[in-house]
Amino acid sequence: MLGLFGKKSDHPMADVKSAQRLLEDVPKNDALKALLEITAWIDSVRSDDHIRLDNMFAVVRLLDEAARPHEIKVTREYFASASQSALQEKRLWAALNGYFTNLAEAYHDVLVGCRDGEKGASALKVLRPLIVARGINATAGRLKCAAAHYAAVDHEVWEELAEYYTEAESQKSLDEPIELYPGVSAEYSIRHQVAGVLLWWASGTGSLKPLQIHLSERLTAHLCRSFVMGAEPGRDSVYSFDLAQTHPPVRYSGELAAHPNLRFIGQGGVRLQLEPMIEKLEKGVVPGDLNLGGSYDAETVCDVAKRLAANWLSAPPARRNVRRNINVNLHIARGFPGLLDRAFEGEGGVGENDKIWVAEDISATGFRCTLDAAVGGWVRVGALIGFRPENVQHWGAGLVRRLRRDERNNLDVGVEIVTNRVAGVRLEESGAQQGSESLGLWLGLSGSEEGESRVMFKPANFADNRTLQMDMADKRYMLIPMGSVTKGDDFDLMSYRMIEREASNGQ
């Protein structure tokens, strides 16, 4: 009999009943270990050529649903914990990336098997929309892992996303309501799902911190049912995606003509959802129907929502300064402590451990460098760096605004120049006891109002509303607070009205 029907699989998870029994042994209270075990089962199931296609989908579907609560816990831990060790961060990321990669490939294998008419494919005909939706969801997880490491994305990811969309389009299931997981209401379709993934990826993932990447993905998933995606460009189209290419979506300028392989993604009615959400968040309220995969403060969520609104609802900013292709060696100081040390060493001071970066292009407001994979491990979006070009006798300050890795894992770093010259200063709160001073950095005058200047110091060293005294170059100044400019992991940058008072008498 076996000769008539082919070899029967002896895999321990060859069918749902066997898989259910084995899943009972998966750890219930160790999310990371459970996710790793289920990932190994997914990989082994998809590698067995003797499992019927319908059985393969049933088992992969079961494993996916069993893994979901563990994946949510590991994702929350990975993106929410700023204090975890580098080793733990790597373990969590590797587990998530391995899980989503294997799951995405398993669903894609099933879809290919359906198209090829493999044994068991006919039983999956009515389930093909779910196969597609689950595959897109797993691919989105794979993209999210890449974004968290600013890593290059395999071309096959974009190719498979295009395949999923094309499959749903050809099967006329693009707009069917999808219950992605049991108990998850069917609020959006495959069209919305793909549009959301593409818009999220294109909305500056390389300029966000990992937690912001997570929140932007969750916000976009919540809002995706407002997006539009189709073969014809509209007035609200913001990105285009070529189904025949293996490239990410690109910004739509309004000049690209319709083409059979092009699909245009538009904002649709998202403004009507996004703007009221931002108003609530500005009042300190996180909407109750917003599933962020965890609890996050309204201020952090609001900042990300505003970034998305700027990307979707506004024209991209035009480059105001010409970039010049030029190689300039830069001494680099790491973070606020490193730059503070250099500022107090006198003009042109450098440290023995200073790194040398090569700026490949530069403008009045920023520069770009490519770092070897072994060099850029500490660089993060929002990180402060000090820089001093060779043959220049003073230090400047910059903020890392964009990261992207290439296929060789080299890190492309975009830096915004905050100032070309810093000065070390001594600060204390007005009326404070003598000897309570703190060291800081003066970043020069800024803004349209006369006397407005920027001062940087350690986080929470001074309250935002306190007047300070500053000693600089044998003069004393009163600093009247005008507001926070930005806050980083190791610094606060504030704006002050600067008023000269009296000589500091060497104090």
| CATH classification at residue 407 | 2.40.10.220
Check if the beta carbon of residue 364 is closer than 8 Å to that of residue 333. no
Could you count the other beta carbons within 10 Å of the beta carbon of residue 294?
Answer: 16
pLDDT of residue 100: 98
The rounded percent of the chain whose pLDDT value lies above 70 is 91
User: Across the strands, what pairs with 484?
Assistant: 494
Check if the beta carbon of residue 227 is closer than 8 Å to that of residue 192. yes
275 and 394 inside one domain: no
36 and 127 inside one domain: yes
86 and 20 inside one domain: yes
Check if the beta carbon of residue 190 is closer than 8 Å to that of residue 225. no
**Is 69 a domain residue?**
yes
**Is 453 a domain residue?**
yes
The count of structural domains within the chain is 4
Residue of 441, 436, 411 whose CA lies nearest to 338: 441
Global pTM value: 0.89
pLDDT interval class at 348 (50, 70, 90):
low
Q: Is the dihedral of CA 43, 44, 45, 46 positive or negative?
A: positive
Strands 262-266 and 250-251: unpaired
* Boundary of a domain, candidates 318, 342, 374: 318
14 and 94 inside one domain: yes
295 and 377 inside one domain: no
2 and 118 inside one domain: yes
Q: Could you tell me the residue range of the domain that residue 328 belongs to?
A: 324-419
Check if the beta carbon of residue 462 is closer than 8 Å to that of residue 468. yes
Is the pLDDT reported for residue 20 higher than 70? Answer: yes
Check if the beta carbon of residue 163 is closer than 8 Å to that of residue 193. no
Look up residue 392 and give its two tokens: 């220049």
Q: What CATH number is associated with residue 462?
A: 2.40.10
d(CA 479, CA 481): 6
**Is 191 a domain residue?**
no
159 and 34 inside one domain: yes
**Is 147 a domain residue?**
yes
332 and 353 inside one domain: yes
Q: How many residues does the chain have?
A: 507
pLDDT of residue 399: 96
DSSP single-letter state for residue 123: G
**Is 188 a domain residue?**
no
∠ CA(195), CA(199), CA(202), 5° rounding? 145
**Is 434 a domain residue?**
yes
pLDDT of residue 447: 59
Q: Kindly report, residue by residue over 464-489, the tens digit of the pLDDT.
A: 899 999 999 889 999 999 988 899 98
20 and 115 inside one domain: yes
Residue 81 makes CB contacts below 8 A (sequence gap 6+) with: none
Q: Kindly report, residue by residue over 349-360, the tens digit of the pLDDT.
A: 666 667 899 998
297 and 431 inside one domain: no
The rounded percent of the chain whose pLDDT value lies above 90 is 69
Is the pLDDT reported for residue 437 higher than 90? Answer: no
The 3-state DSSP class for residue 246 equals: coil
**Is 179 a domain residue?**
no
Residue 415, phi-psi category: left (phi > 0), alpha (psi -120 to 50), beta (remainder)? beta
Q: Kindly report, residue by residue over 392-404, the tens digit of the pLDDT.
A: 889 999 999 999 9
Q: Kindly report, residue by residue over 250-276, the tens digit of the pLDDT.
A: 999 887 777 899 999 999 999 999 999
* Boundary of a domain, candidates 388, 419, 450: 419
How far is residue 357 CA from its own chain's centroid? 24
**Is 221 a domain residue?**
yes
Residue with tokens 């998530």: 96
160 and 40 inside one domain: yes
Region 18-32: what's the mean pLDDT? Answer: 92
7 and 102 inside one domain: yes
* Boundary of a domain, candidates 377, 393, 419: 419
How far are the Cα atoms of 302, 340, 385, 400, 415 from residue 334, in angstroms, in the given order? Answer: 29, 10, 5, 11, 13
